[in-house]
Structure 1
Amino acid sequence: MKSTVSIFTEIPETLHESLKNYLETHPDWDENRVLTAALSLFLLQNGDSDRRAARVYLETLFHHSSVETPSIDSPATANLLDTP
């Protein structure tokens, strides 16, 4: 995702409460990431199957995480590789 556009929208309060509850238990997600994933998935399912929407959806799910993936050289990964 190279550029972004800000939007302002109103959502039902019950949906907002559900979103807040989700975000409290999933600290690697934020409102922008959730809404981007939801909108891009909606467009994939209901639009013209635009590859750009698919790319945004996949990037949002897999590349936008604030949680670091251990490298193959990290001690945590080395311990996993040593176990039978």
Structure 2
Amino acid sequence: MPVHVSVENQLPEDLYRAMGLFISEHPQWDQYRLVQAAIAGFLFQQGCKERSVVRHYLGGLFRRNDCPASQPLV
């Protein structure tokens, strides 16, 4: 099982609301999956070729929709 690191961040309120709206409309996503996909996507688009980053990027694109969300955005 991969090691996870907890990250704390402050978001602009409008971005936070947009993230909450997206998650409420797409129950297969949760805040953790969304942030992981965003970071991996950014790194990949900036040219990062590390296998683990590419795996996370592709995993975010092709993850099955029937996976339940682990925790709601609070």
TM-score grouping bracket, smaller chain normalisation: 0.7 to 0.9
Q: Give the TM-score normalised by structure 2.
A: 0.77
Q: Give the TM-score normalised by structure 1.
A: 0.69
Number of aligned residue pairs: 67
Map 1:1-84 to 2 at 5 A.
Answer: 2-63=2-63, 65=64, 67=66
RMSD, matched Cα: 1.9
Query: What residue identity is the alignment partner of 1:51?
Result: R
Aligned equivalents of 2:37, 2:52: Cα separation in 1: 13
Structure of greater relative contact order (alpha carbons < 8 Å, 6+ residues apart): 2
Provide structure 2 residue ranges, at least 5 long, that are not aligned to the other structure. 68-74
Judging by fraction of residues, say which structure has more helix. Answer: 1
* Moved segments of 4+, more than 6 Å: none
1:47 Cα deviation after fit:
4.2
Sequence identity percentage: 34
The one-character-per-residue Cα deviations of 1:17-48 (angstroms, maximum 9, x if unpaired) are 00011011000000000000000011111143
Larger mean CA deviation between 50-59 and 14-23 belongs to: 50-59
